Amino acid sequence: MNLDYTTFYSEIENFYKLPEVIDTFQMGDRFQETWKKVFGCQEAKDALNVVYIWRTDKDIPRLKDLSNIVYIGKTKTSLYERHYRYSEVEATEEGNKLKYSHIIKEYGPIRITYMPFEKYGETLEKAEGRLLWWYFLNHLEYPPVNYSGTPYHNDVLS
């Protein structure tokens, strides 16, 4: 089977899955505990040099079609090292509260899936870029959490 954007969704069904899911949208301590449980497991510690995809139970409407993918990323360290330390920020930052609460409430828990990068490119950057591009070719936009936003969170100009 050729690997390209037409086989993207069947291909990612082969990704490994972390055993726990991010399933609470109550921010603060409970969300932080959930985050740590997901990224603190042994599988997350063992997942080195991987591309990873965060997926929900239900599909999300996109510019073109539907997708349950909310984020595509990469790490040269482990999933644990990449995400565990950010549990407090993810649990307390206002933008994250709005984003994660909506995603989980509307589309279900977030499951973290991953695969060694070499299958998709010669470097981590190329592998991640290829997966992002395949997503784009399917939906004419990038996953919703792959947006890098502004640090200015003012609702009103004063």
* pLDDT (average), residues 118-147: 93
Is the pLDDT at 91 greater than 50, yes or no? yes
**Percent share of the chain, pLDDT over 90:** 70
Q: Which residue has the tokens 């972390």?
A: 18
The two tokens of residue 144 are: 């919703």
Give per-residue pLDDT as tens, 10-42. Answer: 999 999 999 999 988 665 567 788 889 999 999
Show Cβ contacts of residue 60 under 8 Å, excluding neighbours closer than 6 positions. 66, 67, 68, 70, 103, 106, 107, 144
pTM listed for this prediction: 0.90
- CB-count burial class (<10 Å; 0-12, 13-18, 19+) for 135: buried
Delineate the domains of the chain, giving CATH numbers in brackets.
Answer: 8-138 (3.40.1440)
- Phi/psi at 63 (5° precision): -55, -40
For 51-87, what is each residue's pLDDT tens digit?
999 999 999 999 999 999 999 999 999 999 999 988 7
